[in-house]
Amino acid sequence: MKNTINVKSMPARSRAFTSLIALLAIIAAPALCEACACGCGVFEVGTSSMFPTGAGGTAYFQYDFQDQNVNWSGNSLGPAANNPDKELRTSFFDFGLQYMFNRNWGVQAEVPMADRYFKTTGGASGSDIVSFDWATIGDVRLEGIYTGFFPDQSAGITFGVKLPTGNFTQDDAFGDIDRDSEIGTGSTDILIGGFYRNNLTRDGRWNGFAQLNFDLPVLIQDQYRPGDEVDGALGIYFDGLSLGRAGITPIAQIIGSARGEDSGTNSADPVASGYERVFLSPGIEINLHPVMLYADVELPVYQRFTGNQLAAAYLVKMVVSYKF
């Protein structure tokens, strides 16, 4: 993924990328007031090995995991009794393909699957502890990629749609699974993003990257609108380590995720949805070209939740990719 960048052009690059991010923020700013519960958009940022570096293709499999099992209210833990939901544990399995037709234009498609366990208060009496376990396809993402700002593809934008392919009607006879706990959102979303990477030292060993993604629902179903979200990552990595023929790249990242309240009349809960989170995320890449292995863990250092919501103590991401 790494390529040498001319440090003499850094000021011009920085100004260009700042303008790019500002434009994205202006486009999305009017809608940053609503959101949905699972928070899976945070897994779409920080995977720096997926930034394009030339023409050709990359097939990948990504596994993500989070176990939301503690009640959080405001910026601190809340009593478990204040939240009827007790646990939302999800494994995500994403199959993706990225293809750059040339050094300027490309496409990316991602088909997710998810396996979810949900424990809540409900049942026939309305006060029983009940649990559900189901697996289904998620919402497919289709995006275009433009990386023609600089010859080395150090900056790019992504744009596309998230389709309502995921199941959003999983339920029992008593209506215990709310819309914000479904695997699919039922909405068609506009996706807008940008990324940038550059050398931090003249020898090219220390490098930095930034990424910002917006997810903006525009078409909804059954009177439920999942909220808009913004996810971003800022990181550094060190090139030059190896073990045998494997290149090893340690990575340090700060990842942020901002969401707001749900809206709509069908199971939307604006008094218990919406949050801001900041994670510290150590990671590692192992390059066995044409195979790349990536893994990180995301540890929350700041969280502010509206109302009472389930939070996870950590998140895990792993990616295996193959370049062709």
Model pLDDT, residue 146? 98
Model pLDDT, residue 14? 52
Q: Pick the range with the lowest mean pLDDT from 42-46, 91-95, 298-302, 307-311.
A: 42-46
Model pLDDT, residue 83? 94
Model pLDDT, residue 37? 54
> Mean pLDDT across the stretch 182-194?
96
What are 72-80's contacts with CB under 8 Å, separation 24+? 72/303, 72/305, 72/308, 72/309, 72/310, 72/311, 73/305, 73/307, 73/308, 73/309, 74/304, 74/305, 75/302, 75/303, 75/304, 75/305, 78/308
- Whether residue 22 is predicted with pLDDT greater than 50 in this model: the reply is no
Could you tell me which residues are beta bridge partners of residue 134?
A: 116
Question: Percentage of the chain surpassing pLDDT 90?
Answer: 72
pLDDT in tens, 256-303: 999 878 888 876 566 788 899 999 999 999 999 999 999 999 999 999
- According to DSSP, the β-strands at 141-146 and 128-137 are unpaired
Q: In whole angstroms, give the CA distance from residue 8 to residue 24.
A: 26
> Mean pLDDT across the stretch 2-19?
47
Q: How many CB atoms lie within 10 A of CB 241?
A: 12
Instruction: Identify which has the larger pLDDT, 262 or 28.
Output: 262
Mean pLDDT of the chain: 87
For the 7-323 domain, the top CATH level (class) is mainly beta
Q: Is 143 exposed, middle or buried (CB count within 10 Å of its CB: 0-12, 13-18, 19+)?
A: buried
| 269, amino acid identity | D
- Per-residue pLDDT band for 39 (boundaries 50, 70, 90) equals low
Model pLDDT, residue 50? 80
Domain boundary assignment for the chain: 7-323
Q: In whole angstroms, give the CA distance from residue 60 to residue 57.
A: 10
Q: Which residues contact 278 (CB under 8 A, 6 or more apart)?
A: 254, 255, 256, 300, 301, 302, 303
Take residue 276 and report the two structure tokens written for it: 């801001």
- Per-residue pLDDT band for 58 (boundaries 50, 70, 90) equals very high
> Mean pLDDT across the stretch 31-35?
34
Instruction: Identify which has the larger pLDDT, 13 or 95.
Output: 95
- Whether residue 1 is predicted with pLDDT greater than 80 in this model: the reply is no
pLDDT in tens, 105-129: 999 999 999 999 999 999 999 899 9
Model pLDDT, residue 80? 95
Model pLDDT, residue 45? 78
